[in-house]
Structure 1
Amino acid sequence: MNRFRIWIAAGMSLLLAACATTALPTQGLQIPAQDKLAVLPFANATEAPQVQDRAQAITVALLRQKGLSTVVVYPQEPSDNPLEAQPSPTGAQTLDWARAQGASYALSGTVTEWRYKTGVDSEPAVGLTLQVTDMRSGRVVWSATGGRSGWGYQALAAVGQAQIADLLRGLHVVAAPAKPAAKP
């Protein structure tokens, strides 16, 4: 009977580990809500075309939901052919653009996985890395990486959004202090 319980516990542990999330924020970063954050083009380290655009769009929406009032996105020309590779701007070019926009911080990312796994259940799987550069010093001041897989019935975008939201928990938007009311 005791052996049976051990096998049940081991099976449940394996089942729960199958959908585990790994998010590793280095440390929290506080960004004042009024600071401008530039979102640079994400890199695509997968075989799937244009997944970096999907991840970037989700990230921008979640940053705005966190309370950042000014989020600017690096302008890119859409391709007529999604399978044709577009020339990527260099890191220096994108950082120069962020400086020209007056951004205090720049966020960049790399999509390492964004697909449905092969097999019977076709589970969605997402992996990505995010980092924030302080534009005054040019140093990376925050980074996070993580991966997540979902169940066969879940949408890939929903799993991606959950993973990105998990990673962004390390960014804390600080509201500006309220101005005191004028005395009559």
Structure 2
Amino acid sequence: MKKLLLTGAAAVALLTGCSSYTGTDNMDASKNATFALIPFVNHSNTPLAEQNVKAIVNSVLTEKGAKVVVYENNSDAEDLKSLLDENYDRKEALKWLSNVSYNYVITGSVDEWDYKAGLDGEPVVSVTIEIKDANNKSVFVKTGSRSGFGRESLNYSGQVVVSNILDDLKLN
């Protein structure tokens, strides 16, 4: 029996990949709450990874039935300052918040979004999601990391991480 349990645990670990989650526990929010989604910070070496994560967060929240307003940089021409300042979009998004009605702001960081070097080329993802209330008080922070399998796509691994993090957001 003991051998069977160990074999079953190994099979579950093999099927789910290696993942880790840490942060606050569940967060309860009203079904009528509006979430403002602003740019994430990209600490990874992959350009535009933060945009992938923002899109996945938007998709997962929408699937949960949340009301989401998303900051989009609508600037047609980017000046040199915006190209050189990697936080330009975040600064503009914070200004945008003063013109939007919301209950919570969602942001965070992408710490890893890449494939491991070597023959396997496994996807590795690490994302932190932070939810703040309208008073800028942090009410939910959770980090999730995952190493997938060689044939698994990077975005799939990212979807798994973001979905698992946002599973702790309960809309009542």
Common topology (TM > 0.5): yes
More helix by share: 2
Equivalent-residue separation in structure 1 for 2:122 and 2:86 (angstroms): 32
Q: Is the 8 A contact 1:95 1:106 kept in 2?
A: no
Structure 2 partner of 1:73 = 70
Contact 1:33 1:67 in 2 (8 A): yes
SS in 2 for 1:164: helix
Cα RMSD of the aligned pairs, angstroms, is: 2.8
Q: Residue 62 of structure 1 corresponds to which residue in structure 2?
A: 60
Is structure 2 residue 140 aligned with structure 1 residue 142?
yes
Q: Secondary structure at the match of 2:32?
A: coil
Query: Within 1, Cα distance between the matches of 2:142 and 2:76?
Result: 28
Return the offset for 1:86.
5.8
- Mapped to 2, the partners of 1:78 and 1:164 lie a distance apart of 30
- The higher radius of gyration belongs to 1
- One-letter code aligned to 1:42: F
Match of 1:155 among 153, 156, 161: 153
1:30 aligns with 2:28: yes
3-state SS of paired residue (1:100): coil
Unaligned stretches of 5+ in structure 1? 175-184
Letter of the 1:103 partner, please give it: Y
Count of aligned residue pairs for this structure pair: 160
Shift in CA distance, 43/78, structure 1 to aligned 2, threshold 3 Å: farther
Deviations 1:126-158 (A, max 9, x none): 0010000101x2210101001001000111111
**Alpha-carbon distance change, 119 to 79 in structure 1, aligned in 2, over 3 angstroms:** farther
Aligned-partner residue type, residue 123 of structure 2 = P
Identity of aligned residues (%): 28
Q: CA deviation at 1:164?
A: 0.4
Post-superposition CA distance 1:105-127 (Å, at most 9, x none): 00001000001110011001100
- Written as runs of structure 1 = structure 2, the 5 A alignment for 1:166-181 is 166-174=164-172
SS in 1 for 2:88: coil
CA contact (8 A) 2:39 2:90 kept: no
The aligned counterpart of 2:97 is 98
Aligned equivalents of 2:76, 2:131: Cα separation in 1: 25
Taking structure 2 as the reference length, the TM-score comes to 0.81
The change in CA–CA distance for 1:100 and 1:111 in structure 2 (over 3 A counts) is same
How far has the Cα of 1:173 moved from its partner?
1.2
Write the distance in 2 (CA, Å) between the matches of 1:91 and 1:58: 18
SS state of the match for residue 102, structure 1?
coil
Deviation at 1:90, TM superposition (A): 7.2
Task: Establish whether residue 42 from structure 1 lines up as the match of residue 40 from structure 2.
Answer: yes
In the TM superposition, residue 100 of structure 1 has moved relative to its aligned partner by: 2.0
How many angstroms does 1:87 deviate by?
A: 4.5
